[in-house]
Amino acid sequence: MTLPKNEYLSDVWRDGLFEKKVVFCTGGSGSICSAQVRALVHLGANACIVGRQVEKTERVAKDIATARKGAKVLGIGSVDVRNIESLQKAVEKCASELGRIDFVIAGAAGNFLASIDQLSTNAFKSVMDIDVLGSYNTLKATLPHLVKSAGNHKNNGKTANPAGTGGRIIFMSATIHYTTMPLQAHVSVAKAGVDALSHTTAVEFGPRGVTSNIIAPGPISGTEGMERLATKASKEKAVKSIPSGRYGSVKEIADATIFLFSDAGNFVNGHALVVDGAAWRTHSANPGSEFPYPDFLLSGEAVTGVKGGKKSKL
């Protein structure tokens, strides 16, 4: 399905901005990551997205390729970010078939609602493994390519490199660990770890020309996360607490991605770019009207009625 440009990309960006560049993305079949990759492809890049589901990953890759005539988009399924060998094979295939890797988006993540009482050790570990270990494995598997690309795309901050930009990684995070939210202990801890990984990468590999940054989306409409973790009633209540007065769009996350990967983001390194309409500034203790704080926690009840809810047996 060919999407209209205004659903995933603003008009401010120049066509061909990322010509001949290659982006590697984990979680690339998700609603946010696929929009990020689609925008980069529209602007000239080729891409490789990886995921666990073969059919879905390949289907989304073909769909993204419609963003630009002649685009090459690989969809590699059956890839588990928790397994470094699995990722390394995908990275090698990407570099072999597309010639290089200039940009990386570490977007694979897991989430559901559960109190600590309801959250088993295995469930906690599952999110930590996908988010933290998965992000680390993504970094480790792609670092040699990022360092090489960074060396080929040096800039002095004054004159743009004719070869463009390269050697950049974005870790997809969240904002809930900034102020804390009940029923999200597992995600809060995991995303804090992802943030720390990105910051350390910036410090250790900045001298080699690599930039490492974070995008922390707020509530984004039409995404899988919003559909799984919120009900209609909680969405209506939550939007009233967003200073910008609305939910964000995947296009706005894609625009932030282009900024960080473009010449405009040359000196942005070790940064967490929040794209949430200032929503995190007004975070309350309530993840939704169905789970009022602290009454819901004191009741001892388990989370129900939300697609993302999990039982303690996990």
Our answer to whether residue 191 is catalytic in this structure is yes
How many helices, marked H, and strands, marked E, lie in the chain? 11, 7
3-class SS of residue 220: strand
3-class SS of residue 168: strand
DSSP state of 217: E
Distance CA 64, CA 17 (A): 17
Distance CA 16, CA 14 (A): 6
Which of 141, 143, 162, 140 has the alpha carbon at shortest distance from 152? 162
**Across-strand partners of 217?**
275
8 Å CB contact between 169 and 212: yes
Identify the active-site residue in 29, 148, 188, 191: 191
Question: Which two tokens mark 297?
Answer: 């926690």
8 Å CB contact between 257 and 172: no
Question: Which two tokens mark 119?
Answer: 């959250």
Our answer to whether residue 221 is catalytic in this structure is no
Identify the active-site residue in 173, 212, 249, 262: 173
Q: Rounded to whole angstroms, what are the CA distances from 277 to 11, 36, 176, 220, 239? A: 20, 18, 14, 10, 10
Q: Point out the residues that are catalytic.
A: 173, 191
